[in-house]
Structure 1
Amino acid sequence: MSRRVLLVSPNSVTRALFLSLLDPAEHEVQFADSLAGALALVGQDGPDVVILQAEVVRASPDALDRLRGACSGPVGFVLADRGYSDERRGLVDARAFGASSFVCVPPDRSALVEAVTAAAGGRPVRQSSATGIPAFRDPEEPVEVDLEQLARWAERLHAKLESLDAYQILRVQPTATDREIQAAFRQRALECHPDLRHAIPDEETRERLYQIFKRVSWALRKVGDPASRKEYDADSGGRG
């Protein structure tokens, strides 16, 4: 059984980045873009950990209390914010709001996992067996990259982004399961997000990779949950 994580952020790119960094064998991730959306998701089978972007908490200072009251069981909170260069200050503010841990945005994978684990009270994650999800590659692991090949790949894919539908961008069939779509997104995010790469040949390639990642995030919004996917599939054009 994996740890249930609810990520509350109004920023779709931030939501997509966090999803790409959390191992699907260990974390079952849900999203909400507002406090109201988060309150609608928590309940009897609520999350183990809630990651809250700081602007949500600043807009509603009682956000953590309301979420804690809506959950039937114990829940830990992580405050996420891009406003601190010193994480110690961020942790002080996190505790002032009632969160038990803090992570900077954008995080690296190890910092995010450490924050989630701390919020869960240090409880180890129970591993799922036979998930059917491809092995997760740690973005911090050194990888040999042909920079010239990367630049050509980014240029070709960027040029045809608008002609690809959500399934093509994620490289899955329209009959793919929700789990397969989530796994495909994680793999694409690791390929495309410039902050997850050790070396990028130039700023033009970095910008192309970022635009590709935004389109991958768009694809996940369209087909990443059953309701959005049904609406997207009903659209005769099937294009964004």
Structure 2
Amino acid sequence: TLRHAADDDDIDWIVVQMHQDALSSSKTGNGSDKGIREAWLPLFDRYGVDLVLCGHDHDYERSYPVRGCNHHAGIDAVTGEKVDTLQPKPVVHSHASNGNAFDTSHGTIHLILGGGGTSAPLDVYGVDTGNGNPQAKVFTKPNRPMPGTTAGTFTRASADALEDAIWSAQRDTGTGYGIAVFDYEPGPHGGKTTITMNYYHAPGADQTPTANYELFETITLSKHRRR
């Protein structure tokens, strides 16, 4: 779903809502899907999508602004041979980010907001044991149920590749429960418009239900108005 953040024709925030993840380093959840990267990320780059909101994995993860991809940066999960996972490329321009403030005209930020509830703690993320950096598992083959050996049953293959999650900027390792609150500021004509996101999480909720939410992080997205 493509949505503008305001009805004004001269404000062009583009936010995409989708269920499955193109950028996820979840270890116990689904992870990343190359098919989505192949089909959708070039369109996000082409049309200047600012923000992508996903679920599917029951955790919170935020990417750096990304644009384009690195080829053959992944490895086969079994053989260790190089494979092409279409690894999203984080924007490295100094003017694209400043702390937790980002100019989305230079790249798209992906947010996984899967903290609405889960029957099991899923806030566990992949780590490269060699260098300690974030690591993602990636489905490079069709990520869908296939007929099982018994009639009427279905099975799904596991992720078949791994990559360094160089695009992963923030992961909530404390709890899988949280909520994001967005504030939109149109800004003056000829100036900048902003979206501020505050993410609140509930520490300990994976073990014991709690109504206590704390601020985990704040990010501000900005871009120039067209007029």
User: Which protein is richer in helix relative to its size?
Assistant: 1
| Same fold, judged at TM 0.5 (above) | no
Query: What's the TM-score once normalised by structure 1's chain length?
Result: 0.24
User: Which protein is richer in strand relative to its size?
Assistant: 2
